[in-house]
């Protein structure tokens, strides 16, 4: 019988670790999506609390990195979440800690060598919107050559942001930093 309590402790520890791990992976927040037909559907958005590249948990917060790639949404009254790409919906949004997060699906021009990937549809985070002017933030990863890890020989990818502005039309203009004056210019 002394074996049973030890086995029970191990089972309880494994179960607790699994339970904590699965509940800490995402937060379910009230939100909405806007379909391509301009219908607004209310429900719940799943927002992740860990970084998909490093696997690190974001304690007491959310990782917006996922939000630039896809929206995981469940309509009110539905049981299962569905994942939406930027091609499938126009917009989605949610509120976390009294902060509204809105993402619009927009076409982004890239400098790809492949013709089919020179224009990609991406979710962009609305960071400013007033009088018809909208400023967006886009997150991407750049290879950090200056962050080369000599001890392992691995290349590090660092998150970086690009900013775009729109006057309400479908066209976006990329904002660039002027390295002499360190201010944003068109």
User: Looking at 111-115, 127-131, 156-160, which range is the least confident one?
Assistant: 156-160
Which three-class secondary structure state does DSSP give residue 121?
strand
Considering the chain, what percentage of its residues have pLDDT values greater than 90? 33
What lies within 8 Å, CB to CB, of 62 at 6+ separation is: 27, 47, 48, 49, 96
Structure tokens at 107: 């076409």
Phi, psi (rounded to 5 degrees) for 95: -120, 135
Q: Tokens for 33?
A: 């999506």
In this predicted model, what pLDDT tens digit does every residue of 27-70 receive, in sequence order?
A: 899 999 999 999 999 999 999 887 766 667 776 788 888 888 89
Annotated domain spans of the chain: 28-185
pLDDT tens per residue across span 118-145: 788 889 999 999 888 899 998 876 655 4
How many Å apart are CA 162 and CA 89, to the nearest integer? Answer: 22
Tokens 């970084």 appear where? 51
Residue 10 sits at φ, ψ, to 5 deg, of: -65, -45
- CA dist 80 and 57 (Å) reads 24
Q: What is the DSSP code (8-state) at residue 13? A: H
Element (H, E) at 33: strand 26-35
For residue 131, give both structure tokens: 């009088």
pLDDT: which is higher, 108 or 89: 89
């Amino acid at each position: 019988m002394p074996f049973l309590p030890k086995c029970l402790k191990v089972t309880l520890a494994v179960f607790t670790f699994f339970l904590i791990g699965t509940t800490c992976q995402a937060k379910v927040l009230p939100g909405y999506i806007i379909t391509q037909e301009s219908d607004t559907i209310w429900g719940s958005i799943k927002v992740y609390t860990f970084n998909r590249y490093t696997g690190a948990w974001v304690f007491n917060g959310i990782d917006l990195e996922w939000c630039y790639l896809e929206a995981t949404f469940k309509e009110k009254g539905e049981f299962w979440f569905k994942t939406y790409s930027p091609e499938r919906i126009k917009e989605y949004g949610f509120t976390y800690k009294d902060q509204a997060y809105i993402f619009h699906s927009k076409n982004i021009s890239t400098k790809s060598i492949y013709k089919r990937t020179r224009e990609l549809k991406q979710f962009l985070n609305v960071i400013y919107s007033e009088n018809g002017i909208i400023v967006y933030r886009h997150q991407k990863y750049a290879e950090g050559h200056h962050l080369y890890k000599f001890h392992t020989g691995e290349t590090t990818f660092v998150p970086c942001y690009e900013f775009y502005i729109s006057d309400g039309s479908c066209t976006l203009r990329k904002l660039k930093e002027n390295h002499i004056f360190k201010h944003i210019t068109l």
